[in-house]
Amino acid sequence: MSKKLTSRAEDYSKWYNELVVKADLAENSAVRGCMVIKPYGYAIWEKMQAELDRMFKETGHKNAYFPLFVPKSLFEAEEKNAEGFAKECAVVTHYRLQNDPDKPGKLRVDPEAKLEEELVVRPTSEAVIWNTYKGWIQSYRDLPILINQWANVVRWEMRTRLFLRTAEFLWQEGHTAHATREEAVRETELMNNVYASFAENFMAIPVIKGVKTESERFAGAVDTYCIEALMQDGKALQAGTSHFLGQNFAKAFDVKFANKEGNLDYVWATSWGVSTRLMGALIMTHSDDNGLVLPPNLAPDQVVIVPIYKSMEQLDEISELAQVIISELKEKGVSAKLDDRDTLRPGAKFAQHELQGVPVRIAIGPKDLENRTVELARRDTLTKEIVPLDTLTGKIEGLMEEIQVSLYKRALEFRDDHITEVDSFEAFKEVLETKGGFISAHWDGTAETEAKIKELTKATIRCIPVDAKEESGNCVLTGNPSSKRVLFAKAY
RNA sequence: CGGGGUGUAGCGUAGCCCGGUUAUCGCGCCACGUUUGGGACGUGGAGGCCGCAGGUUCGAAUCCUGCCACCCCGACCA
């Protein structure tokens, strides 16, 4: 295995692929397009899950679980949704294998075991869920229903990349039912705000909250809200979406309720999700040419202690000290571990922990024992300093917050530097080619113009920012009047 | 799904055009010893159905066909 990671400048996409594998986050599997998430990668995902789950519950949601399979007849009920996902559905047609009479030792699909009705492997769960909600909802008293599920979904992608686009991925999908349009819209916005706050405060990833244009909207939604993040290579990445589904699914699945006045009305719906794609966003926001950089909130180990020793006696002495440090840190809510593997030398450990993004590293050697100090190294800045033992744990506690904030600030600065306002199509192309990032420009509001710009530049409208200010201008392509700027970018 | 490329030990590779000893080298791995403040060194050792399946041939890593996987570029996409 080569020791050095390909640099970002050399080949960003290669850098990403190597990093995911070398940092032991995930690898490709024997199944086309499907990844194996390795323990270290999964530990980071679990941190995300835990925080999101907490936030969902805090906003009144409960977890439940719905089936992996969707009977085709249910799947096709909401036409737009079905049509949108049709091209990428895996379908179960049989329920049994048998020994192949022609090839001893081999199995074949039993031709007798064809399913009456094919089962679609869920690309998303609206269909099963709304079919279920139909049985749960009669009256306004049954509303709202605020449910989330943690699940895997399958979308048969042509080109896959670890975390960013895989045929199977893990996510959460919230599905809520409401009595009024206003309440459902509020829920949609609330959850988009939850995502934004999670991304910014927990993952240290600045995001732009916005609304999707019609062509980028979720199939079956009335409105799709999103959070858009900017990666280091200047490409945008949709990090989360929240959909106002109107009454589309209620109508498709005939879900009506009696309101307070005794009139029947269709239920209003939302759905919202974030996926393991966030791992990709995390990597491409903070990491550097030395490897992964983790914000303390997401680091499986926030601090690692590397002992430097010649004799076993020294190791014992260092280990004893390390245990004291570890338990003091634990009291302060900081997770730390001692890397006492005797199979690697210190330098190799430094390199590995750097590659894996551990926020803070402590090295303790004979000199430190003598001086009552340690060497403290920050992953985000790659700086080192000698710290006296008696101020160590307090300093680290503060560092956790400092690193978290500084990563966010660094990413925010980069992001803000890469939002460029342009007022001509020439400038649009110029900025896109030379600088990348988001381009803030006027758009005449038509799908035709959007498509034309995509065809000419490969950039799409990432969103209409929710805080976009009213400003009269002219469409960057057609010159037609426009009332606000939208954000364009090349996207993942 | 279209175009291009690549599959040889855990990883990276030589050999392939032009078929012919025991398949090359480096890293990693194992044992022992010396080491340990930024990816250690020595000695010894293990590890290969040459991507898979057919075919051509006295003989296939090498030639032919099919399949599979991965990478790059397009279309699609969270």
Residue type, A406: S
**A392 sits in which H/E element:** helix A389-417
Q: Could you tell me the residue ranges of all domains in chain A?
A: 12-60+135-286, 301-399, 419-489
Q: Which nucleotide is nearest to A160 (CA to C1')?
A: B77
Q: Which nucleotide is nearest to A346 (CA to C1')?
A: B36
For residue A239, what are the CA distances in angstroms to A156, A236, A305, A375?
A: 20, 9, 33, 37
Q: Which nucleotide is nearest to A369 (CA to C1')?
A: B37
For residue A129, what are the CA distances in angstroms to A106, A121, A133?
A: 38, 14, 6
SS3 for A203?
coil
Q: Is the CB of A242 under 7 A from strand B?
A: no
Supply A178's token pair: 């409401």
pLDDT digits (tens, 9 = 90+) for A290-334: 999 999 999 999 999 999 999 999 999 999 999 999 999 999 999
Closest CA to A245 of A345, A343, A173, A331: A173
Q: Is the CB of A308 under 7 A from strand B?
A: yes
Q: Indicate the burial class of A182 (C-beta count within 10 angstroms; 0-12, 13-18, 19 or more).
A: exposed
**3-state DSSP helix/strand/coil % of chain A, to nearest 5:** 40, 30, 35
Distance A35 CA to B19 C1' (A): 39
Distance A475 CA to B16 C1' (A): 58
Q: Which residue has the tokens 């040419």?
A: A289
Q: Is the CB of A13 under 7 A from strand B?
A: yes
Beta strands (DSSP E) in A14-79 are 26-28, 35-37, 62-63, 69-71
Closest CA to A155 of A144, A145, A165: A165
pLDDT of residue A192: 98
Q: Give the separation between CA A324 and CA A318, rounded to whole angstroms.
A: 10
Closest CA to A247 of A264, A230, A262, A232: A264
Mean pLDDT for each 10-residue chunk of chain A (492 residues)? 73 85 85 86 96 98 97 94 89 85 73 91 95 98 98 87 89 97 98 98 98 93 96 93 97 97 97 95 94 97 97 94 98 97 93 95 97 98 97 98 98 97 94 92 94 89 96 96 95 89
**CATH code, A12-60+135-286:** 3.30.930.10
Q: Which nucleotide is nearest to A382 (CA to C1')?
A: B38
| CATH class of this structure's domain A419-489 | alpha beta
CATH topology of domain A301-399: Rossmann fold (3.40.50)
Query: Looking at strand B, which nucleotides approach a protein CB closer than 7 A?
Result: 1-2, 10-12, 26-30, 35-40, 68-78
Q: Is the CB of A9 under 7 A from strand B?
A: no
Q: Which nucleotide is nearest to A370 (CA to C1')?
A: B37
